[in-house]
Amino acid sequence: MGLNFPISILKVADISMEPAIRDGDYVFVNRMSKIFRDGEVVVLKHPKSGMRLIKRIRGIKDNRFFVVGDNTDNSEDSRSFGAVDVSNVIGKVLLKV
């Protein structure tokens, strides 16, 4: 999946971020990012299963992020599993191709 370098390419296999990021798109992920802002898209580990997710940050408090998918009807996100710790964040999405 290409997540071994500071900038990695990840193929999206999910519809939870549509229309911004679609199933089959590729995203460039900056794994070195340490500063995150509300509204940014990040790749993170699901807090229970460890599966990789792509979500948008919609709130930050005490090193915990509330994340949601843009396609709210088809997204498992903080509304179901709660806020995630910054340690679960793999990196920030820089670019979609």
Please provide residue 86's backbone torsions phi and psi, each rounded to the nearest 5 degrees. -55, -30
Tell me, yes or no, whether 2 lies in a domain. no
**pLDDT tens, position by position, 15-51:** 999 999 999 999 999 999 989 999 999 999 999 999 9
Asked if the model's pLDDT at residue 82 lies above 80, the reply is yes
Whichever domain contains 74, its CATH number is: 2.10.109.10
Residue 1's pLDDT band (cuts 50, 70, 90): very low
Tell me, yes or no, whether 76 lies in a domain. yes
| Alpha carbons 76 and 35: distance in angstroms, whole number | 24
Considering its fold, how many domains does the chain have in total?
1
User: Residues, the chain, total?
Assistant: 97
Pairing of strands 64-68, 84-85: antiparallel
Q: Is the peptide bond before 6 cis (omega within 30 degrees of 0)?
A: no
